[in-house]
Structure 1
Amino acid sequence: MPSFLKAKLQSENLTQIVCVRDVSVNGALLDVTQPLRAFEIVTLICGDTNVNGLVAWSDNGRLGIEFSELLTCEILVGSLKSRIKVSASKSYQPEI
């Protein structure tokens, strides 16, 4: 079963906990409890990292945001470092 990152999404009138289903350098796919309008300005907050953007679309409990600036690898790794614990079963053998 997949595990998704929890974050906060802040808009002008609302802050909600969201589930980050996918993230790229220029945007993210989120599960939300409250829909937002397209082109609404938002801030995605994960740990100590805030990423500004616009709602690109919103439909049926999900929305896509387009970041105002490209998300660098350093920002992504830094924001996730303390929030994700990765584990594997003892029988896991990486392919070489």
Structure 2
Amino acid sequence: MFVIRLPNGNLQVPQTAIGNDGRVIGDVYVEIGPQDADYARLAEQALTPDEAEQRRLEWRAGDAALQREFLEFARLVGDQHWPGLEPGTDAGDPG
């Protein structure tokens, strides 16, 4: 998520929403203006909405290339399991 400079001069700033139980609910944007204490610091890294969209598009293109590379790797490896794991075990299960 990026800090985005809006046409009115305010900034959209990413913020993590946390529930009452302390668990992360999700990421949101909040709008702040020049009166906010963090405005000057955040404005230094702010992107225009067009620049932010361009970065998202570049990431998606990179994700597609990485996915193609992974699929090719998976095709080459076939049904071989990771070293040190018994076939049929879950890699996320340590024991």
TM score, norm. by length of structure 2 = 0.21
Larger helix proportion of the pair: 2
TM score, norm. by length of structure 1 = 0.21
Structure with higher Rg: it is: 2
